[in-house]
Structure 1
């Protein structure tokens, strides 16, 4: 009995402990779980640098964190406003750029805050003027002044001509003319009945004028095909590529001159129809055939004025000669002979031999300070064009070249190349 008594007592003690523990658990205040935060892709920091939004391509926009669809919207918006962002405020209005994204990018954007700036002019796309048309006309033949007389603003006239050049020098068709963003639907409706253009775009048309030449009437005059340069052949209606082919065919294949009309006819870029148009005006100077080819003394030929023909005479092929002349033209002249050796697509051994013989006169090579350099020069020069917009932006505030170079944060070798053309 005593044993049973102790067992019951122990059982009651255990039950009491359990009850006390349960009461203690239920009486505790409710604890809050920590807040869960999810990390999104947008929280990953971008390695941002200063940039001009007018110079970015689709891939570079994507690198800034925009989706493919957003990039398409941004680039389309840029076209609508005239092809260029003129301020941060204008860029901010693009609905593909969220307020959060703009705040993230704002300090890196190389644009003025608001309004017009000396270096960023805006197309006056939406200026309302009355259109006046006196009769049927070919828009390919109109100058900027004539577009203004019709009722377009000066900026609009410039944009229309740029669009024509973009198409290859001709509006091609009413269909293509209508696509010019400067010309509103209302103005197109007024102009359309008077346009001397085909309605539909030709099937073989391609942008940028690479494979399409506008068929506008050319007023021919008598000419000697042996004295025509590149511009002369272009003036006869050939594209730049076709003109280059004709000049090279004459100078290289025919050793400097056409000997007969048949030689001209054999040039594959001159179609039978085009030859028939030209033949009445061709006055071939047969005396050209009697001129003996003179050997050039290359020890007296300045490398900054040496011609394509002279390079071929020295032994360079067309590719090497063209590359050297083209690079020199972009630079506005070589300032040292190493630049010539650095030219792409050249026969380095032959060029090394040439530069060891020929002199280099650098007295006529243009040089500027960063604060005075023309914008066109900066944007076209191989050593400056990738930093041109930054230079133009910084020099609105700073007048010291050393300060601007420091802000550009260039690699030492790039800075040294720039200094070759700086005063």
Structure 2
């Protein structure tokens, strides 16, 4: 009995010592600093895109498209599995590391046939898309090259546009050969050909700060001379420091809104893309011929009252009148048609190939009537509508399959399991 009590006391003492030891370690750990946590997210900045053949992309170029290192490795492995080259968009889309949202964003730029069947019958000199050879006449400053100059060199219209977008993305200048090389559509092969002819510093300046919203982060000083704004064409405005897109807006504004000519300084200042600083910089050199300042007329109002023009009814011609170029106007009208009409103004800002600042100004001015936009329940939506609508087409087959036995919207939503952000967009068109 005595021995039993002795062992009991020993056991209790051991337990107390263990508890004290654990407490001591805990107390010591509270004095330690927790490691700083950092969270990584995808780069939200919109990199310029242009047409590309996915069979030609290196791992680095896939990453420039926005894919992670792991996703890129999966894509390249998938390419080997399917025979060493992708034959269609349909095949590429099946790669599980390319999300539906990401594929939708790059689909229009992919240089591949739509379906596997078309890919199998596609022929060219080497079984791929025929590439143009670059024509380089001599040393050049890429900052001064226009859309036409890049196209003359051998780039496609979309590629040339993307190069200029990338320049604007950097702040209006390529800055250095290093930065020029980072342009997504400049392949390593083409850069090797262009590099000896580039009139740019080899290295990026230490004080360079990229600012995609301010064009003059690094800007050449303009040596102004007296000029008549009514005699300038697009190239003339570009020589004054405006981008090609800005030059197009100015010329369209003059031709369509002002019936072909600036009448006074105020009309120039009122142009959307000419900010106050730029106007004051140019003002001393502006000479408007044949019009005396005392006799200058007030700006003529646009033929269209955009404050009363429904964004779901606005025409291609009216968008040109407002200042959009043909490509942007066509994109907006085309996107609206695919959607069956806009339901929110935010959707308009999602349109590809548009000037977001000009578009923001338009949506702030014009009303949006959604009363005629067609909406359906998931159980009753026409198959053709589901398969063609930008927000539903990737889930169309699942919806059509499941609703045959479960024609209930709540159950269909649970079955298709789309991401919350996708569901929010889809519900805009569900009644």
User: Does the TM-score normalized on the shorter chain lie above 0.5?
Assistant: no
Larger Rg: 1
Bin of the TM-score, shorter chain as denominator length: 0.3 to 0.5
**TM-score (norm. length: structure 1):** 0.37
